[in-house]
Structure 1
Amino acid sequence: MSYFLTEEQVSIRDVARRFTQREVRPRVMELYGPKGHTFIKEMGKKMADLGFFRIPVPESAGGLGAPRTTLLVVYEELSKESPALALHLMLNGVLPTMLLMGMPAAREKWFEKVLDGEATMAGAGTDPRGLANFSEWSDLAVRDGDHFILNGSRSYCTGGPYADLVIVFGLYKGTTWAFPLDVGTPGLIIREDEKMGLGTSFGALTMSDVRVPVAESLEMSAWVKDRKLVQANGHSTINVLDISSMSLGLAEGVFEKTFEYALQRTNAGKSILTLGAIQVKFAKMKAQIECARNMIYNAARLLEEGRQDKMLEHMVKPIATEMAVDVARSCMQLHGGMGYCVETGIERYLRDAMGLTIGECTSDMHWSTVATLMDMPETRLGSF
């Protein structure tokens, strides 16, 4: 968490911490088994009852209208046990705000249901040609009177297999649009794809002559126009701080468990924490965690004060997510064979951390964008 929280943010953090410790921790391994979807939706309803989904929603629409830091603190606490639940919060807290920008029928049908945890949303924006190389994307939509007709596919849709509403992002005449599709819409098929970590599964979407009213679709020309990013920071910085705070929480969670384990684990009758090599490992991990924390919450504070630092945000994501991988690997190794066993729940942190390095553009994609923002010669934007 940030060291500079308001009283309200401290209160919300404490609620998230108690929920994570009491509700999530005892059952988190269910997420990685056949009941994963059920677990996500059950915990999602509990998070909704606590008001988490309403944190980013404007007060005028029945939300809390809280600053970004408030949401990051909750992501961080949830991710100490399950970044998958933090991702679920991101999808069902942030995506509903898109319904406020347009999509009147979808808003009427789904907005309150999602915020109350009675329905779930997912977003699908990865083209088979890649997430951010828009110059190679084909148009997803053609217009037929008052409707768009969608033909194509989207990959890696987190939450897709158990969603009720999916927001699909695609091009129409080279410009990005968002299309709300109810699951069950004729021509829409969602295939479940297993993945390495983060629980549950991806959804691969196929659309064959899917019809969606133009009045329900949202033009997003501020993002991509003429198959080109409109600006260097694009919309990627909408979620990079979210993913980064999840990585921070993940690292803290596995660090805390490993520190407690090291206190109890003995060598020659003494805690292994008395060994110099082990002490250095923990000291370095703590330093990595604190460095990432400061970058994340400094970037959030600048954003909230209207002084957004695009370059900093693109740096934060690869640094925080790669830090989580390093910490998770070290902690698994410190547990020895126990850390490598699935049933102890330690190796899952490494699998989850790897997923966070990929979501919302990979580390290399962000570094390429940083190079562009530094005005290096012959650079290309790597992330959107």
Structure 2
Amino acid sequence: MSDLHGAMPGIATGGEGYGYTEEEWLLKKNVRQFCEEFIDPRFRESFKAETADPLLKEFIKKFGDKGYLRINVPEELGGYGQRLTAQTIILEEVARVNGGLAIHTGENGGFALLLAIEVPAAFAKWGEALLSGELIIADAENSPEGQCNYSEHADIGRLEGDEWVLNGTKAFSSGASFCDVLMVTGLVDGDMHRWAMDAKNTPGLKITPAPEMGNSPMYGTIELNNVRVPKEFGAKTGTVINRKKVDAVPSGKGNAVGTAALSMGAMGAAFDKTVEYLKHRTTNFQPLASLGSIQYKLALMKCKIEASRSFLIAATRMIETNHKDAVLYASLAKAYICDTAREITSDCIQLWGCAGYNPDTGIERYLRDAVGFGIGVCTSEMQLATAAKYMGLPGAEFECV
């Protein structure tokens, strides 16, 4: 794949360091260039309900053509077998221009790989189309009772002969309004299962869009009314048994550092644009960036951003090497980085003044994205509660995804 090979030219916000390989720096540069050329000129279009979905489909197809959706899928499954770090690089760079697009960049490749592991029949049917960007996948995992509130989750499935029969409701499914393949996660006799189905042609499946919610107008509510799925298109995941989350394994925290990478993209882009704005915005004919108080503020913000990046890379490396403390550090990193992103993006709006609150500048979108990233894949509080368990603190038993 051409975007993964060749000499690494310098890039404005990078250089040598961070432990990235030459190929990873080149990947970062190429993804940023593609996003800036394709999405930046159309950023308002990407946030409007009537245009966001078609734009996302176009983006995912172009991303698939470049091979980015299969970046860390094993070679034997048609991927490039890169380490998790490459995926976090892609997520960060796409989140710099649109958080919703970034979510689905990760989902198409990540969920395709999940199908290959848990529901091979579904991967055999849709896997290559998902990795090429021809089809888009969405995940219906959140229950109205709360994602990790398993003790109150009702069973949604039962096996009848050669078919699963599903009944229930799932909320806050990103991409549900336009996906081609839908994954549904829920309990059967208290144990977690996952199913895959055709999102457009499955009888009994109803998807209601929620156009005003989230990072872009792409969420939806799922209703399952006697939905029948072939037996081979469903499987037990082993992540929840008897309505209790089992202890996580390092590889299971990839979604936590992935979401942290999304937050890195949001705050990094907001900060870079704010610095440039303050260099040109003047008071008494002097740039705002020349004021000592502003310089102190920007330097402190930069410090927090770089500390977050180091934390993200360290936690990602621990997952890649199956380190014994990977779950602890991934949970801490997700909480810290997402909270920092909310702080940084809010400060950026403040430094822009009224202009930062204007949708035309795009700055206020980064705060909205940062808030969403801090909630998704378990809130910061839930991640910290999980960290407390792995720190061995007395009475700490909570486990989140």
Q: Structure 1-normalised TM-score?
A: 0.96
Residue deviations 1:143-173 (CA, integer Å, cap 9, x gap): 2111111000111100111100111011111
Q: Which residue of 2 aligns with 1:367?
A: 384
Structure 2 contact 162–230 (Cα < 8 Å) conserved: yes
Q: How far off its partner does 1:238 sit? A: 2.7
Within the candidate set 5, 8, 12, 2:27 is matched to 12
Q: Please, which of 357, 370, 373 is the counterpart of residue 353 of structure 1? A: 370
Partners in 2 of 1:191 and 1:159 — Cα distance?
Answer: 11
Displacement, 1:236?
A: 5.6
Change (3 A) 1:297 1:70: same
List alignment gaps of at least 5 residues for structure 1: none
Q: Which moved more, 1:280-289 or 1:233-242?
A: 233-242
Structure 2: runs of 5+ lacking an equivalent: 1-13
Structure 1 residues 135 and 199: CA distance shift in structure 2, 3 A = same
AA paired with 1:66?
A: Q
Match of 2:218 among 198, 201, 205: 201
The secondary structure found in structure 1 opposite 2:43 is helix
Alpha-carbon separation, structure 2, partners of 1:272 and 1:24: 29
In structure 1, what is the Cα distance between the partners aligned to 2:119 and 2:255? Answer: 22
RMSD: 1.6
TM-superposed CA distance for 1:187, in Å, is: 0.5
Q: CA deviation at 1:102?
A: 4.8
Cα gap change, 1:238 to 1:195, in 2 (>3 Å): farther
Deviations 1:66-95, CA, capped at 9 Å, x for gaps? 100011111111111112221111110100
User: What are the within-5 Å matches in structure 2 for residues 106-145 of structure 1?
Assistant: 106-145=122-161
Runs of 4+ in structure 1 off by over 4 angstroms are 232-236
Show the counterpart of 1:210: 227
Q: Identity across aligned pairs (percent)?
A: 34
In structure 2, what is the equivalent of residue 227 of structure 1?
243
Distance 1:154 1:196, change over 3 A: closer
Whole-angstrom CA distance in 2 between matches of 1:128 and 1:81: 30
Amino acid at match of 2:145: R
Aligned counterparts of 2:176 and 2:84: Cα–Cα separation in 1: 25
Residue of structure 1 in register with 2:352 after alignment = 335
Correspondence 1:123-272 to 2 at 5 A: 123-183=139-199, 184-221=201-238, 223-232=239-248, 237-272=253-288
Counterparts of 1:58 and 1:235 in 2: how far apart (Å)?
Answer: 14
Question: Structure 2 vs 1, CA of residues 233 and 132 (structure 1 numbering), >3 Å: closer, same or farther?
Answer: farther
Alpha-carbon distance, 1:232 to partner: 4.9
Distance 2:27 2:363 in 1: 27
Tell me the equivalent position of 1:73: 89
Structure 2 counterpart of 1:25, from 21, 37, 40: 40
Q: Tell me the CA shift for residue 382 of structure 1.
A: 5.2
Farther-moved stretch of structure 1 (88-97 vs 10-19): 10-19
How far residue 244 of structure 1 moved from its aligned partner, in angstroms, is: 0.3
Letter in 2 for 1:356: F
Question: Structure 1 residues 341 and 3 mapped into 2: Cα distance closer, same or farther (>3 Å)?
Answer: same
Q: Secondary structure at the match of 1:204?
A: strand
Alignment deviations for residues 301-354 of structure 1 (CA, whole Å, 9 cap, x no partner) = 122222152111111111111111111111111111111111221111111111
Alignment-mate amino acid for residue 94 of structure 2: L
Task: Report the 3-state secondary structure (helix = DSSP H, G, I; strand = E; otherwise coil) of the residue aligned with 2:177.
Answer: helix
Q: What residue identity is the alignment partner of 1:92?
A: N
Counterpart CA distance in 2 for 1:153 and 1:319 is 32
- Contact 1:232–1:373 (Cα < 8 Å) also in 2: no
* SS of residue matched to 2:193: strand
* Equivalent of 2:328 in 301, 311, 316: 311
Structure 1 residues 202 and 28: CA distance shift in structure 2, 3 A = same
Secondary structure in structure 1 of the residue aligned to 2:154 = coil
Aligned partners of 2:284, 2:55: CA distance in 1, in Å? 42
Q: After superposing the two structures, state which structure 1 stretch, 224-233 or 145-154, moved more.
A: 224-233
Deviation at 1:375, TM superposition (A): 2.6
Q: Distance in 1 between matches of 2:115 and 2:395?
A: 39
Does 2:68 match 1:60?
no
Match of 1:98 among 103, 114, 120: 114
Aligned length: 383
For 1:41, the equivalent position in structure 2 comes to 57
Counterpart mapping for 1:255-294 below 5 A: 255-294=271-310
Map of 2:5 onto structure 1: none
Q: Which residue in 1 is equivalent to 2:4?
A: none
Q: CA deviation at 1:233?
A: 5.7
Secondary structure of 1:100 counterpart: helix
